[in-house]
Each structure stands twice: as C-alpha cells, then as structure tokens.
Amino acid sequence: MRKRAFVFALLVIVSIPGSAGATPNPIASGPTGVPVVALTFDDGPHQRETPLLLDILEKHGVRATFFIVGTRAVDHPDILSEIVAMGHGVANHSWSHRNMPLLDRQAMYQEIAFCSQAIEAIAGIRPKFFRPPGGNWNGALLDVSSDLGLSLVLWSVNAYDTSNTSAEDIASLVIRRAGPGSIILMHGGMENTMLAIPDIIEGLRAKGLLFATLDQMFRFTPAARSPLPPKIPVETAFQGFPLLSPATTFTE
C-alpha cells in the first residue's frame, strides 16, 4: 500500500504542468524551407456555409484547417464530423468566442478545455492547435494553452475577409502576400471568402505553393516556429473584428 502511494506521488511530481520547460511562443508561420501554405478558416461550423466550403475545397483537392468554436460544434456535430471525414484539420477556437485576455485563468482554462472536449467527443480528434478569438493573447493565455497541450497559433497572412472586402481583393491580397510557410487567416462563414477560394487556390498553385493542414505543416518540423513580439496591443489586434460580449451566442 505504501509503495503504491509512493508511485502515485512520483507520477504527480513528474506530471506537474510546465515542468517540461518554458512556455513556447505563439506560432505565426510554418517552415519556410518547403513550398507549403496552410489555409485556415475560423468560427465554424456554419450550417449553410461550411458544407459549401467543403465542396469547393474537395473540388480543388485542397485540405485546410478549421478553427472550431465549441458552441457551434455542439450545434452542428454532423458538419464537424464531415470536416474530419473529408481529411481536413480541426483546431480549437475557444468554447464561446470570448476576448480571452479579459478572462481570468480559470475562465481561460474552461474556454479552451470545453472546446477541445467537445471536438474530441464529436469527432474523436484531440486538437493540437488553439487560436484565440481576434488573435488576442497574453502570457497567461499562452501558459494555459500550453498546459492543456495546445500550441497557440496566429497567422502570417490576414485575408481581412471580415471587413466587407470584395472577393477579388481578398484573392489578390492573399496571392500577393503568401509564400512558403504562410498561415492564412480566413473566416468560414463569409460569402466573399468562398467566392475568393478558387482564385486563391489557382493563384497560389501558380506560385508553386502546395496546401497542407497545420498538422501536416508541423508534423516533421515542430521546432520551426516564428516568434512574435511578446504582446500585441488588444486595440490593434481587435481592429475590424466583431467583438462578442460574454453573453453573446452565435446565430445562423
């Protein structure tokens, strides 16, 4: 009995979160030594738009990564399962899309953990990447996501598709700015984004770029991360982004 207690105590000691090393920086882009980019779509699943988006991606033979909002996953479990079945990556975009740096650590923990649990319960996949809503983060959030086994991912190319940008402008901006290692931020519920996708795929392929999920991009080069400045001012990161109050729930 005493021996069992000792083994348990040892397990507790070696599994203390954070004991493996310092918290890593957020990921903004992938390795630049290979001509690979990652398309990422935030805020889904969306009842109408996500199936259309999946059709477009399938037609062009492209795999992308979907940053899932937990409450939406619970509302549309069949669509989340379809995303996974079609070979796309799924990642964590919080439980209810709140402005994370305004939360205390316990609320941060719940926002991230609940989303991962919902995704795992529905699709059988435990996400490896977490993107905070609006790209807003601080040191506490970095610690919490790391403790939960998730890498905090931002982006290197913003399509600005939440600000009434035309499909033509979205496509030309992304094609112009993307290169090897780019992580491209888009939103799955936007009409103009879907209209832009075929041109984006064609334009990036013309630049010799291939498409991968984030899991594929980082599978063999987990250390290939681009560190960012330690903090992005919330006002700057939040420009043009729809702020949701804590009580806000999504509607179709």
Count of residues near Zn ion by CB under 5 A: 3
Q: Which segment (41-49, 52-60, 73-81, 226-234) binds Zn ion by CB under 5 A?
A: 41-49
User: Which residue's CB comes closest to Zn ion?
Assistant: 42
Residues with a catalytic annotation lie at 42, 187
Tell whether the torsion through CA atoms of 247, 90, 104 and 136 is positive or negative: negative
Within 13 Å and on the Cβ side, how many CA atoms surround 156?
22
- Per-residue string for binding with Zn ion, 130-169, x by CB under 5 A? ---x------------------------------------
Q: Would you say 42 or 161 has its CB closer to Zn ion?
A: 42
Q: Which of 42, 49, 111, 215 binds Zn ion (CB under 5 A)?
A: 42
Per CB under 5 A, 111 contacts Zn ion: no
**φ, ψ at 102 (rounded to 5°):** -80, -5
- Cβ distance 4 to 206 under 8 Å? no
Per CB under 5 A, 188 contacts Zn ion: no
Strands (E) located in 25-97: 36-44, 65-68, 89-92
CA separation, residue 57 to residues 5, 152, 198, 238 (Å):
53, 25, 8, 29
Q: Tell the smallest beta-carbon distance from residue 209 to Zn ion (Å).
A: 25
Per CB under 5 A, 43 contacts Zn ion: yes
Length of the chain equals 252
Q: Tell the smallest beta-carbon distance from residue 145 to Zn ion (Å).
A: 15
User: Residue 197 burial (CB < 10 Å; 0-12/13-18/19+)?
Assistant: buried
Q: Would you say 135 or 209 has its CB closer to Zn ion?
A: 135
- Residues at the contact surface with Zn ion, assessed by CB under 5 A: 42-43, 133
